[in-house]
């Protein structure tokens, strides 16, 4: 048994033992993919365990995240800061080895996977980031960024639509730095893949424009040769269909769904170890020679890292700045002031935000992104920069096509690779990409979502296109900030907030229709907008406070004028970002809301606002689906004209 083969068995049985010890997990796939994993980490990947953030490292994505013990075992053997004790703590509270890989939690883990298909999309985003970076750093000598991205994926990954969307885009862009290895084990949880997956996967990927090979996934030399061949593939991503046997070596569970999602059990483990000539005791056994092939690879890679560091140290300041631009996501701290100096006049907030985005883009070189075929409607194209296309990666604009979910997963990959991505579509279609948004929030990645056409007031397109529950439901995702600006100043705050917020994604929620510019006192402190809610119009000893967001703020202002004519003393609060507001000290929040009865206005579900308005409060919203009609008819019918709002508030005040 050579040391590679020893390493393969070590990975298999570390995985099996950890799942047994946790009494929870997925042993079959780590067993099946141990060979491919060892091949990658000992003869293919460029990495440095002591520098997991080396910008030019190859990326390894385990899209089938349930096989997490494969990754943890490999990281341990490769010398990452993942100890044998960490492996023994698999799936325990606070351990470095959670049930599915979590980026930021374990060194060497590139992205959080588990929800199937997402890792494929992330890998496409990482490969795209590599191409974008290379195009920006093009110059004399060896490239500073030329990493490759390897993604291991399962049947489930390739059944998910998000992976289809991302794979089609990878083919479109010709990402030849992307190599997907498909674990073709012919087993799903429900049984044989024949039950649900009869398609010709290779042919499908050829149709996307990929280069496709087929190999025996347990023949390491064949896998090695297939990966080597991908170096000769130019202008196309590669798919290697690797036939494997789930739970390989397990006496009765190999090639069955029983090997997938539960511990094998003592008898099966013993049988597998004996058949492999492996000691049944101790568990978590790591023979010294198992680490040797990893050590050889790391030594080679370390020399590459040293050379890379030396070249970076010798860069001219201009080249160094170009490198930083694609690795550090730097944003000037005074960005809000810059944006405030460029405020456009009254318009739809999508149009205002678009103009401000141009200003921001000039100061934030890592800002790249695009739209799911709604660039004209969402107005998110960065002016003066070309669109990215096959062989042309210098631009900053991406055409994602009508693929919101793929867009979301790809943006996560871009963010994980040093860019600051934006993604735009209609707010209603945020539903299509919700799992990717959630992962951005969970991974604490800075992604900016530009969601336009933000209420029924988009008009004639009707209920299929009119958001009702989307604002509220995005607010429910932990660590996602939702920013719904009302005018130009608030749009500037929205972009500043999104670009300066390092630890998570922000959704900008913008109107299709024009809204008036709000009037503020000359000495208004613009920083107050960033606090999420602020007093826009005040009244001594207010009798009522109107709180509104986005396009409902000017309605509140106009309604307030009518209410004043009826003798009310009205405070108007604009609340563009409830998430930011909730993070403010309670005293500040109370001061903003005041002590008068509070009525909230937002053209969406009322649920969620009750906490803010309290028992005495009123929430004017929309708790039904919309309808197809012109904007004015909808505002009338749903009671959202200023006079209807004033009337509803008055009658409520009379009732309280």
Please list every residue from 143 through 172 that binds a copy of itself, using CB under 8 A: 155-157, 159-165, 168-169, 171-172
Question: Measured between alpha carbons, how far is 46 from 300 in angstroms, rounded to an integer?
Answer: 9
- Among 243, 387, 501, 584, indicate the residue that binds a copy of itself (CB under 8 A): 387
- Contact between 428 and a copy of itself (CB under 8 A)? yes
Q: How far is the CB of 293 from a copy of itself (least distance, A)?
A: 30
Alpha helices in 484-568 (DSSP H): 488-500, 527-530, 551-565
- Among 472, 489, 498, 535, indicate the residue that binds a copy of itself (CB under 8 A): 472
User: What are the φ/ψ torsions at residue 616 (nearest 5 degrees)?
Assistant: -80, -10
Residue with tokens 């930021």: 104
Q: Which of 571, 542, 6, 647 is nearest to 286 (CA)?
A: 6
What CA–CA distances, in Å, run from 76 to 290, 298, 419? 11, 13, 29
Question: Measured between alpha carbons, how far is 91 from 132 in angstroms, rounded to an integer?
Answer: 37
- Contact between 464 and a copy of itself (CB under 8 A)? yes
- Contact between 406 and a copy of itself (CB under 8 A)? yes
Question: Measured between alpha carbons, how far is 36 from 62 in angstroms, rounded to an integer?
Answer: 12
Give 244 or 327: the residue with its C-beta nearer to a copy of itself.
244
Q: Which of 290, 286, 283, 287 is nearest to 20 (CA)?
A: 283
- Contact between 442 and a copy of itself (CB under 8 A)? yes
Question: Measured between alpha carbons, how far is 285 from 272 in angstroms, rounded to an integer?
Answer: 14
- Contact between 450 and a copy of itself (CB under 8 A)? no
Q: How far is the CB of 59 from a copy of itself (least distance, A)?
A: 19
- Among 435, 564, 569, 650, indicate the residue that binds a copy of itself (CB under 8 A): 435
Give 92 or 283: the residue with its C-beta nearer to a copy of itself.
92
Residue with tokens 């707010």: 427
- Among 53, 376, 523, 541, indicate the residue that binds a copy of itself (CB under 8 A): 376
Give 195 or 341: the residue with its C-beta nearer to a copy of itself.
195
Question: Measured between alpha carbons, how far is 136 from 366 in angstroms, rounded to an integer?
Answer: 10
| Segment interacting with a copy of itself (CB under 8 A) among 238-246, 301-309, 460-468, 640-648 | 460-468
Give 32 or 325: the residue with its C-beta nearer to a copy of itself.
32
- Contact between 640 and a copy of itself (CB under 8 A)? no
SS3 179: strand
Question: Angle 28-39/3-22 helices, nearest 10 degrees?
Answer: 150
User: Alpha-carbon dihedral of residues 179, 183, 188, 191, nearest 10 degrees?
Assistant: 150
What CA–CA distances, in Å, run from 273 to 14, 31, 68, 269? 11, 12, 20, 6
Using CB under 8 A as the binding rule, the residues of this chain from 76 to 135 that contact a copy of itself are: 91-95, 98-100, 102, 112-117
Q: What letter does residue 80 receive in the DSSP assignment? A: S
Question: Measured between alpha carbons, how far is 297 from 292 in angstroms, rounded to an integer?
Answer: 9
- Contact between 634 and a copy of itself (CB under 8 A)? yes
- Contact between 478 and a copy of itself (CB under 8 A)? yes
User: What are the φ/ψ torsions at residue 387 (nearest 5 degrees)?
Assistant: -80, 145
What six digits make up the tokens of 599? 């009525």
165 noted as active-site residue: no
* Rg from Cα positions in the chain: 27
470: Cα separation from own chain's centroid: 18
Using CB under 8 A as the binding rule, the residues of this chain from 47 to 76 that contact a copy of itself are: 65-66
Q: How far is the CB of 518 from a copy of itself (least distance, A)?
A: 27
Q: What is the total count of residues that contact a copy of itself (CB under 8 A)?
A: 112
Binding string to a copy of itself for residues 309 to 348, with x set by CB under 8 A, is what?
Answer: ----------------------------------------
Q: How far is the CB of 152 from a copy of itself (least distance, A)?
A: 16
Residue with tokens 């649900």: 196
- Contact between 237 and a copy of itself (CB under 8 A)? no
Give 344 or 401: the residue with its C-beta nearer to a copy of itself.
401
Using CB under 8 A as the binding rule, the residues of this chain from 268 to 307 that contact a copy of itself are: none
- Contact between 389 and a copy of itself (CB under 8 A)? yes
116: Cα separation from own chain's centroid: 14
SS3 215: strand
Using CB under 8 A as the binding rule, the residues of this chain from 186 to 215 that contact a copy of itself are: 188-190, 195-204, 206-209
Q: How far is the CB of 410 from a copy of itself (least distance, A)?
A: 12
Catalytic residue (one of 39, 165, 404, 490): 404
Q: How far is the CB of 527 from a copy of itself (least distance, A)?
A: 27
Using CB under 8 A as the binding rule, the residues of this chain from 600 to 629 that contact a copy of itself are: 605, 607-608, 610-611, 614-615, 623-625, 627-629
Q: How far is the CB of 401 from a copy of itself (least distance, A)?
A: 3
Using CB under 8 A as the binding rule, the residues of this chain from 22 to 51 that contact a copy of itself are: 22, 24-25
What six digits make up the tokens of 248? 């390989």
Q: Which of 98, 64, 72 is nearest to 188 (CA)?
A: 64
| Catalytic residue positions, numbered | 404
């Amino acid at each position: 048994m050579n040391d590679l083969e020893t390493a393969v068995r070590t990975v298999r049985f570390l995985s099996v033992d950890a799942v047994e010890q946790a009494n929870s997990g997925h042993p079959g796939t780590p067993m099946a993919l141990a060979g491919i994993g060892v091949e990658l980490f000992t003869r293919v990947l460029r990495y440095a365990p002591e520098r997991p953030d080396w910008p030019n490292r190859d990326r390894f994505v385990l899209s089938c995240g349930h096989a997490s013990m494969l990754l943890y075992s490999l990281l341990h053997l490769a010398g990452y800061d993942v100890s044998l004790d960490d492996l023994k703590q698999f799936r325990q509270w606070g351990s470095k080895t959670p049930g599915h890989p979590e980026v930021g939690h374990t060194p060497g883990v590139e992205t959080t996977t588990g929800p199937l298909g997402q890792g494929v999309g992330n890998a496409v985003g990482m490969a795209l980031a590599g191409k974008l970076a290379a195009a920006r750093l093009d110059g004399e000598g060896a490239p500073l960024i030329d990493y490759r991205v390897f993604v291991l994926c399962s049947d489930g990954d390739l059944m998910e639509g998000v992976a289809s969307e991302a794979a089609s885009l990878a083919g479109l862009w010709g990402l030849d730095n992307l190599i997907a290895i498909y674990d073709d084990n012919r087993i799903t949880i429900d049984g044989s893949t024949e039950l649900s997956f009869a398609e010709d996967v290779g042919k499908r990927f050829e149709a996307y424009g990929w280069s496709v090979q087929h190999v025996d996934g347990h023949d390491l030399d064949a896998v090695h040769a297939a990966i080597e061949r991908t170096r000769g593939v130019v202008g196309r991503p590669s798919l290697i269909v690797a036939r494997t046997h789930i739970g390989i070596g397990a006496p009765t569970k190999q090639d069955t769904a029983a090997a997938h999602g539960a511990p094998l059990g003592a008898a099966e483990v013993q049988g597998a170890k004996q058949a492999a000539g492996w000691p049944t005791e101790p568990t978590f056994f790591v023979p010294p020679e198992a680490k040797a092939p990893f050590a050889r690879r790391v030594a080679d890679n370390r020399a590459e890292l040293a050379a890379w560091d030396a070249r970076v140290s010798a860069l001219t300041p201009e080249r160094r700045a170009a490198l930083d631009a694609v690795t550090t996501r730097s944003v000037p701290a005074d960005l809000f002031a810059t944006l405030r100096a460029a405020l456009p006049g009254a318009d739809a907030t999508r149009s205002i935000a678009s103009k401000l985005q141009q200003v921001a883009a000039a100061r934030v070189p890592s800002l790249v992104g695009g739209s799911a075929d709604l660039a004209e409607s969402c107005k998110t194209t960065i002016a003066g920069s070309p669109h990215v296309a096959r062989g042309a990666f210098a631009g900053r604009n991406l055409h994602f096509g009508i693929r919101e979910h793929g867009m979301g997963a790809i943006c996560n990959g871009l963010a994980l690779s040093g860019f600051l991505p934006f993604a735009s579509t209609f707010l209603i279609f945020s539903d299509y990409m919700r799992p990717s948004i959630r992962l951005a929030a969970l991974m604490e990645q800075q992604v900016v979502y530009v969601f336009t056409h933000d209420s029924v007031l988009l008009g004639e397109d009707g209920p299929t296109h009119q958001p009702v529950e989307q604002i509220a439901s995005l607010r429910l995702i932990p660590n996602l900030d939702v920013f719904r600006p009302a005018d130009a100043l608030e749009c500037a705050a929205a972009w500043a907030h999104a670009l300066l917020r390092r630890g998570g994604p922000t959704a900008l929620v913008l109107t299709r229709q024009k809204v008036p510019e709000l009037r503020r006192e000359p000495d208004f402190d613009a920083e107050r907008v960033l606090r999420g809610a602020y007093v826009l119009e005040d009244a001594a000893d207010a009798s009522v406070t109107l709180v509104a967001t986005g396009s409902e703020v000017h309605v509140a202002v106009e309604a307030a004028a009518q209410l004043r004519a009826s003798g009310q003393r009205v405070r108007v609060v604009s609340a563009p970002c409830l998430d930011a507001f909730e993070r403010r000290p309670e005293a500040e929040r109370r001061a903003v809301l005041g002590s008068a009865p509070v009525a909230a206005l937002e053209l969406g579900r009322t649920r969620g606002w009750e906490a803010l308005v309290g028992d005495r409060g009123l929430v004017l919203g929309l708790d039904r689906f919309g309808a197809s009609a012109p904007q004015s008819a909808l505002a009338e019918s749903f009671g959202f004209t200023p006079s209807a709002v004033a009337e509803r508030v008055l009658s409520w005040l009379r009732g309280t």
